[in-house]
Structure 1
Amino acid sequence: MSGKYLGSYVTVDCGELFGCYQGQVSNVDTLNQTLTLKDVWKNGLKSSIDDVTLLAKDILSLAIIPSPKDDKIGNRAEVEHLESQRNKNKTSARDSPRKFDGYGSSSSQPAPPDTPNKINKMKGRVGKDDVCFGTDVNMEKDFDFETNLALFDKKTVMGEIQSGKQQGPPLGPGARTVSNFRHDENVLETLPPTYRQIHLPSPSTKEFLTDTGLVVPSASPELRKAMQDSMEKLGISVERRSESIARAVAEVALHFVGGPHRLTPKNSHQKPVVVALCGNHPEAAGAVCAARHLATLGVQTVVYLQTLTVSHYLKKEIELYKLTGQSVINNEKHLPSVSVDLIVASLLPPTWGGGDEISKMKGIIEWANKQRAPTMAIDQPPSAVINATPWLDVKCTLSADLPLAYGDRDGKLYLYSLSTPRKIFQSLGIEYDSPFGSKFVITLHESC
């Protein structure tokens, strides 16, 4: 029965991989399921091969066409018919550059013969065209956005993503499911976080929270005094603690005075001015040390001493500070008359329990409160404990390791690390895991 098709002219579409063929049927092998064409044209170009044998499994569509005229295979109508079979655009504006020029046209003029070089070039161009224009896309039909959007169940998909279910096709037997993790989740399994990592031997009067949610309880003045005595006993002297205090104070102070915007070569005509108000206690030694750190960075500093009689550790810090060439005064009349950028106050120790010291500070307190500069307190007693009028208008407070029970009148609270060894906390019955993380100074917030 297949013999009746011998000699017929057909057009065969073998898909994008093999292309389109036109030619005369020379053999039909029903046993091997093959079709042989002669006088073959492929993709609009005359083939250099006399006979082409196609497998039935590679043929997508086959159509019988009329016999060619003037010994040329096909015409423009046949080309358009082939393109319509593959759902391609028929309009000339959207035609592929592959125009099937080899088919001939309605004109009676015969096509000029192709030289071997021209054939090779055209073959190379056809390959490039297939890559760029070979996709079957019906440009005449508008895309229905509403219908396709209705097919997408956003709620179900988002539920699967948030629940960590595997996206994609079902997994085969024995396959291991993979959970989807957010950017802030760990791939490795970890223990649930513990936010209360500090335990004091006695209940605290107040608790604070870090930015990460860790609980930091407040310490009593007696516990802070015991910590200082334990550090002195184990060799962590005032000089060592002063350097840690100074590092933290200088870091926060540079932020208040403008940091890189003020300390630049182009801005050397208006260097920031910092005044340190110091009493006679270990924390005041840290304030003097901080003034030395700031002076070495180009900040103009002034150290005011509340009393001329100072301890030996404070005297050493003052001697080191004088090496920077900055001034030390003990008379409030000599305080800067120019604009001040920051006031660092360490007039009273954190263990202060009362006395007549505040009455002697009335003049310096009035001067500080008249300045437009913010006041940063270093481990001073809470304003509620001092309970004196007048007292400093504090913008922020820095406290070491364990804060005192500071309130709203003490401004923003910062906690800095003295790098206190764990053994010191253990000797006082304190369970202490560092809340600082990768920083030496952190912000504390009052717990609700």
Structure 2
Amino acid sequence: MSRFAQYKHKHKHTSSKLVFLLACAGLLGVALFADVLWFSSSSSLYSSLSIASNWALEKSGIFIVPKISTKEADKATEDKKKRVPERFVSATFADLPAPDLQWERLASAPVPRLDGAAIQIKNLFYVFAGYGTLDYVHSHVDVYNFTDNTWCVRFDMPKEMAHSHLGVASDGRYIYVVSGQYGPQCRRPTAKTFVLDTETRKWQTMPQLPAPRYAPATQLWRGRLHVMGGSKENRHTPALEHWSIAVKDGKALEKQWQTEIPIPRGGPHRATVVVNDRLLIIGGQEGDFMAKPGSPIFKCSRRLEVVYGDVYMLDDEMKWKILPPMPKPISHIEFAWVIMNNSIIITGGTTEKHPVTKKIILVGEVFQFHLDSMTWTVIGKLPFRVKTTLTGFWDGWLYFTSGQRDRGPDNPQPKKVIKELYRTKLSL
């Protein structure tokens, strides 16, 4: 054989060997890459098959996967969950320390409702309207009897009456219902006003408001029905206007609403309380969801909202005074309050949005405002975080029903609209 032929034969043999080695290395690399992907994608599966996998890799002499215990894998998973923004709650927006309360679940309301209204007259609890879902609103009243703990009566509201975001107040027999949103989603407000005689269950009309409003702060004080703030006709712009009209025995004594001193800060979803001949406005927010432009169904669209914990009091000189603010900013508490032992009790609500995710954060605490010392304390926890609760008090028991609750103990975002009714014994 010539030198050239020998060289050619040797070179061909060497090339074949090199190709073979490269092919083997490639196959091993693919196998390794697949094994690493498999490991990273299923930690639970890996824990049951790690011995066989490790053995194969050790025999190859290429790569050894470090053994991870189930405890370490669980800790890694937990650490990963903690890093997800949706599971993170800043200390500013987290639940406040509070003692546990023993809650008893009673017969649920006939329907779930959000942004409804409620008035207590002695042992009867009148629950009005509200959303059933975002696309369906109620147009009736349910009545709960605190004495025998039963839902005892249901009757219809006038067809022209608003279905949510109502302003409601009572003198102990007559219930005044002012403005609010007419229809589901984010439909327009109405300026119409009605009064219910709870003894005859008959409705009458009253003079309309000067302008429609969503969720105005509404209360009877010194013979006049006061309507303050709320949101303007676009559902988002805070209103500062304050109107009043003289009323007696379910009738308006004047033909028109009178202009009063404007409220210091506008917006909806605040508690309005008359106690010790003082008118107090508590919490609330500026801004709200509004109808998406051009939507034929007035589909709700999120806008910037600012929740606050401001407290104002109207004094004898008809001037607003600033009182100590709530422990944290809270709104959606229009009917979430009761008066007990010279103090105001408030349950649940919403607070400022999450600083990272910008999601709505619900409130799960029970607050007490001491009227003698003008101070706030946190006196307990609700069974879960919830907004727009409808709250009553009878014979030492604090009751709440309806609203929208959280997604679970670790997720304060709103989810399910509820109809459950709970109570707890309070000794303050």
TM-score interval, smaller chain: under 0.3
- Structure number, greater radius of gyration: 1
User: Larger strand proportion, structure 1 or 2?
Assistant: 2
User: Larger helix proportion, structure 1 or 2?
Assistant: 1
| Structure-1-length-normalised TM-score | 0.24
| Structure-2-length-normalised TM-score | 0.25
